[in-house]
Amino acid sequence: MTTYSQDLIIAIATAPGRGGIGVVRVSGNSLESLVNRLFTTPIKPRHAHYLPFNDAHGKAIDAGIVLYFKGPNSYTGEDVLELQGHGGPAVLRRLLARCLEAGKDLGIRHAEPGEFTHRAFLNERLDLAQAEAVADLIDASSETAARSAMASLSGAFSDQVNTLGDRIVHLRMLVEATLDFPEEEIDFLEKYQARDALEAIRQDLQSLTKQARQGMILREGLHVVLAGQPNVGKSSLLNALAGDDVAIVTPIAGTTRDKVIQQIHIQGVPLHIVDTAGLRETDDTVESIGIARTWAEIEKANVIIHLQDARSHQDQLDTAITQRLPARTPVLKVYNKIDLLPDNQRVIGVDQDLALGISAKTGMGLDTLRQKLLDIAGWNPGTESPWLARERHLTALQHASEHLALADEHASQNDRVLDLFAEELRLAHEELCLITGQFTSDDLLGEIFSSFCIGK
Ligand code: GDP
Ligand code: ZN
């Protein structure tokens, strides 16, 4: 377990700037003395007191609500004191300074980013996946993301991970009990239908992984790169999808030289759309730098839109571009400017499944494009309400699944190696514990909590 600091920590918990109220929050093993120094009237835990907040000379800095929570019944699991004053930067700074002064010899100091939640985790008020959800809820940029972060925070994800973990442990205990009685090894697997149990666990793990993948798309968003020849309408399409003028659109070929990224949401899924320099043969050094950057962006994309002019699509250069696109990345071929085609030619000869005619200018086909972007990226949340997941969660689920596959292999062999079977179950369980933080290195914890904001 992480070394636990006994310091009292303090921070302004509300966002910088002006607001109706602002909150200064303190947490520590015992805040009794601090509370007695700050207030002359007794403060009853879990009651709201309206009181003046005085400086050391008894002069009011502000007046507001005092809330006092005795540990372990608090956010951090320690004693927590909240001063809710007026939400101005100067008054909150003075309140903070007053508490620092009053608690000087009690070891009070500024909290590090995420330190309140870190303590809540160490005191088992929430697990690691839930702690991460706290940050995600604060960071949520769409209602879907906020709803999903809240689902994770309430344990929708952790509960499933724990249930699977318990089933794995149960199976392993059966195996290990058998290991002590070697003569029983042979029929153990049949007797307890161990392979069926394993199979059921593997299936549930698989569907959990699928959900986690959705949760990750929702959290991280998709990197969509607009690639194509100059003047096919990449910048116009970005603008049309974004709904305002972010990229420079000009009729001169080769004007988008630096990348422009716009974040949009489709059905609550964040998409980071990257407009790039047009791809063509060029002797111009500046332009060729832009083209090199475009290829670098293409390498990083989750989805590529290969945009072409509907009037001249799949010409020699487009064929060359197609051949150079990375095979691992889904490509959506989109033919733009269909408004310039006669009515009866607007349904583009679809040479493969993923081709689509649009007009960035009139908006024709854009709804289909939005839907296809989500489809091709694998967005398919199903009926279950999604929760947010991170890359590290997905990795752990995949590793767990690999261990279970190995366990099954051991069980299927003629000489059924039960101790190896049990060992793989143990490793699979350990991977699941990484998600909820039962086995986690200090480094990882540091990394996770340092990305939080101050005061949370
Ligand atoms: P980019 O170089 O690929 O980024 O292309 P731009 O977005 O700068 O557009 C090049 C030219 O094509 C501009 O004059 C646009 O107004 C025009 N354009 C873009 N999309 C359409 C479209 O769907 N229909 C028509 N008629 N013109 C378009
Ligand atoms: Zn452009």
Predicted confidence band of residue 1 (pLDDT cuts 50, 70, 90): very low
Instruction: Provide the annotated binding site for K(+).
Output: 231, 250, 252, 255
Distance between CA atoms of residues 331 and 302, nearest Å: 9
Residues having CB within 6 Å of any atom of ligand 1: 230-236, 249-251, 256, 278, 336-337, 339-340, 359-361
- Least confident residue range of 108-117, 219-228, 374-383: 374-383
Name the residue with higher pLDDT: 100 or 384: 100
Distance between CA atoms of residues 243 and 328, nearest Å: 30
> Helix 442-450 vs helix 128-139: angle between axes, to the nearest 10 degrees?
20
The whole-model pTM stands at: 0.80
Residues with CB under 5 A from ligand 2 (ion): 234-235, 256
Q: State which of 218-227, 392-401, 446-455 shows the largest mean pLDDT.
A: 392-401
DSSP 8-state class, residue 184? G
Distance between CA atoms of residues 113 and 413, nearest Å: 51
Distance between CA atoms of residues 128 and 396, nearest Å: 13
Decide if pLDDT at 180 tops 50.
Answer: yes
> Residue 142: its pLDDT value, please?
82
Are 207 and 397 contacting, i.e. CB atoms less than 8 angstroms apart?
no
Range 94-101 average pLDDT: 97
Decide if pLDDT at 353 tops 70.
Answer: no
Q: DSSP per residue over 67-94, as a string?
A: EEE-TTSSSSSSEEEEEEEEE-HHHHHH
Contacts of 378 (CB under 8 A, 6+ apart): 213, 217
Distance between CA atoms of residues 252 and 265, nearest Å: 30
Range 103-130 average pLDDT: 95
Predicted confidence band of residue 279 (pLDDT cuts 50, 70, 90): confident
Which of 225, 232, 236 maximizes ligand 1 atoms within 8 Å of its Cβ, making it the mutation to test the pocket?
A: 236
Predicted confidence band of residue 13 (pLDDT cuts 50, 70, 90): very high
- Least confident residue range of 31-35, 147-151, 199-203: 147-151
Which of 231, 260, 282, 364 maximizes ligand 1 atoms within 8 Å of its Cβ, making it the mutation to test the pocket?
A: 231
Distance between CA atoms of residues 455 and 26, nearest Å: 9
Model ipTM over 0.95: yes
Q: DSSP per residue over 277-341, as a string?
A: PPP-----HHHHHHHHHHHHHHHH-SEEEEEEETTS-S-HHHHHHHHHS-TTS-EEEEEE-GGGS
Decide if pLDDT at 451 tops 80.
Answer: yes
Nearest ligand to residue 252 Cα = 1
Nearest ligand to residue 256 Cα = 2
What is the chain's Cα-based Rg? 29
195: left (phi over 0), alpha (psi -120 to 50) or beta: alpha
pLDDT in tens, 305-343: 999 999 887 788 999 899 999 999 999 999 999 999 887
Q: Which sequence spans correspond to the domains of the chain?
A: 8-126, 139-217+387-437, 222-301+303-376
DSSP 8-state class, residue 115? H
Closest CA to 333 of 232, 444, 207, 216: 232
**What is the third-level CATH fold of 222-301+303-376?**
Rossmann fold (3.40.50)
Decide if pLDDT at 2 tops 50.
Answer: no
Predicted confidence band of residue 283 (pLDDT cuts 50, 70, 90): confident
Predicted confidence band of residue 67 (pLDDT cuts 50, 70, 90): very high
Q: Enter the tokens of residue 404.
A: 């279970």
Amino acid letter, residue 77: G
User: What percent of the chain shows pLDDT beyond 70?
Assistant: 90
Centroid of ligand 2 to alpha carbon of 250 (angstroms): 7
Q: Enter the tokens of residue 254.
A: 């080769």
> Residue 416: its pLDDT value, please?
67
Q: Which atom of ligand 1 is nearest to the CA of 250?
A: 8
CATH superfamily of 139-217+387-437: tRNA modification GTPase MnmE domain 2 (1.20.120.430)
Predicted confidence band of residue 296 (pLDDT cuts 50, 70, 90): confident
Decide if pLDDT at 252 tops 60.
Answer: no
Centroid of ligand 2 to alpha carbon of 141 (angstroms): 27
Q: Which atom of ligand 1 is nearest to the CA of 340?
A: 26
Q: Which whole-number Å values give the CA distances from 226 to 207, 233, 372, in the listed order?
A: 32, 10, 14
> Residue 249: its pLDDT value, please?
55
Strands (E) located in 286-445: 303-309, 331-336, 355-357
Q: Hey, do 8-126 and 222-301+303-376 end up sharing a CATH topology, with the first three levels equal?
A: no
User: Looking at the domain that runs over 8-126, which CATH code has it been given?
Assistant: 3.30.1360.120
Centroid of ligand 2 to alpha carbon of 270 (angstroms): 22
Nearest ligand to residue 259 Cα = 2
Range 32-38 average pLDDT: 96
pLDDT in tens, 127-147: 999 999 999 999 888 888 899
> Residue 349: its pLDDT value, please?
46
Centroid of ligand 1 to alpha carbon of 233 (angstroms): 4
Nearest ligand to residue 338 Cα = 1
Centroid of ligand 2 to alpha carbon of 229 (angstroms): 9
DSSP 8-state class, residue 438? S
Predicted confidence band of residue 186 (pLDDT cuts 50, 70, 90): low
Name the residue with higher pLDDT: 280 or 381: 280
Q: Enter the tokens of residue 321.
A: 């571009």
